[in-house]
Amino acid sequence: MTPGRIIFLNGTSSSGKSSIARELLEVLDDGVFFHLAVDGFNAMRSRRELGAEELDAALRRTRMGFHRSVAAMAGVGNGVVVDHVLSEPWRLLDCLAVLPPEDVLFVGVHCPLDELVRREAARGDRPAGLAARQYGLVHAHGEYDVECDTGAAGPRACALRIKEALACPPRPSAFTRLRRRHLPDGV
């Protein structure tokens, strides 16, 4: 079975990842793609109050399960549009370990900080300052196959740019280069 392709959108909260993902599902015309968002996995969790340590452990397990769910969906031939926030180094390392690197088109979704703050306030469904706290962290690894600035281009334009990159992805992929650099055996 041929594995599915993975379009991995990484950016801060409110950067436009979900809007781009919705547009990608409209413009991609070669195969079946599913939008898998880490926020969707978080929303499936029970709402019982958890202490800080228990919550941290539950969120870590949730993200690890999310990464493996993406790998499983792609592994059986589905295309996947991943919507994620790699704000902690271990998240990227886990993705590098479980996702097939040459099947991943790694997309950096950027947005100016002042626009992120404006969007976050307009949404009202995120803790104030979340995007600002993530801003210097999510792109710290410094390497992508394609990058989009949602402060300069709308979701449809970004989706079309990604579709173009998907047709002729760079080799080796950003995930392959990052894997060689960050995993001990370069698996």
Whether the model clears a pTM of 0.85, i.e. scores above it, the answer is yes
Q: How many helices (H) and strands (E) does the chain have?
A: 8, 5
pLDDT at 19 (0 to 100)? 97
DSSP state of 150: T
pLDDT at 123 (0 to 100)? 86
How far, in Å, CA of 42 to CA of 27, rounded? Answer: 27
DSSP state of 128: T
pLDDT at 1 (0 to 100)? 59
Question: At a CB cut-off of 8 Å and minimum separation 6, what does 165 contact?
Answer: 105, 107, 145, 146
pLDDT at 25 (0 to 100)? 97
Residue keyed to tokens 């740019």: 161
pLDDT in tens, the chain (187 residues): 578 999 999 999 999 999 999 999 999 998 899 999 998 988 888 888 999 999 899 999 999 999 999 999 999 999 999 999 999 999 999 999 999 999 999 999 999 999 999 999 898 777 888 888 999 999 999 999 999 999 999 999 999 999 999 999 999 999 999 999 999 875 5
Helix H or strand E encompassing 54: helix 52-75
Residue keyed to tokens 């949602």: 150
Question: At a CB cut-off of 8 Å and minimum separation 6, what does 27 contact?
Answer: 156, 159, 160, 163
Positions annotated as catalytic residues are 39
| Main-chain phi, psi angles of 20, to 5 degrees | -65, -45
Give the CA distances from residue 13 to residues 22, 59, 65, 134, 148, in Å, rounded to whole numbers and listed in that order: 16, 16, 20, 8, 15
Give the CA distances from residue 15 to residues 25, 67, 70, in Å, rounded to whole numbers and listed in that order: 18, 20, 21
Question: At a CB cut-off of 8 Å and minimum separation 6, what does 118 contact?
Answer: none
